[in-house]
Structure 1
């Protein structure tokens, strides 16, 4: 039996990774952000010490899900448009 070439090993590695991600139920979601949302995400990354915005988004989804299961009214308040509009925050790097 001959040894696999680098290309064959890489192809096998990609196949294994694709199978692993499929087992995990991975989904890719395109996401459009407007400036205010991008600023908020950047702020959350900085405050939380995260390098990857996707990690913040994932943690926020799980935290929101936990709140929604435990206290639906608190979740409703958390995601209310009224609450969002009332609490405007200065963008990062702005000066007074």
Structure 2
């Protein structure tokens, strides 16, 4: 194979890859894909690992998707169940780590640090 043929193959490969990326981008746009990124601390990471192991999940995104849809379905059936599930007070009473609701709200201290 000469240099001209090799260059034609490289150009064709680049074009195939460009088209593949464009298809993936169009698919994500059509489906309304949205990327979420956030930090997990040790205790939350441990919970995530245990949930993934219990459900046999390999991908975190699959677990999050199924959890969100399941919780949403249950919330539609019984909103009090949902409110109990996300209760900071209940979490505090059952956990050795105390959480403060104000951590989840905007604060002047956070604004000053930026």
Shift of 1:25: 0.3
Aligned residue number for residue 46 of structure 1: 53
Summarize deviations over 1:60-85 as a string: whole Å, max 9, x none.
11111111111100110111112222
Cα separation, 2, equivalents of 1:22 and 1:7? 22
Gaps of 5+ in 2: 1-8, 97-114
Alignment of 1:15-94 (within 5 A): 15-88=22-95
Q: RMSD of the TM alignment (CA)?
A: 2.0
Structure with larger RCO (C-alpha < 8 A, sep 6+):
1
Name the structure where helix makes up a greater proportion of residues: 2
Cα separation, 2, equivalents of 1:62 and 1:72? 14
TM-score (norm 2): 0.70
Query: SS of the counterpart of 2:89?
Result: helix
TM-score (norm 1): 0.82
Gaps of 5+ in 1: 90-96
The structure with the largest alpha-carbon Rg is: 2
Cα separation, 1, equivalents of 2:94 and 2:67? 18
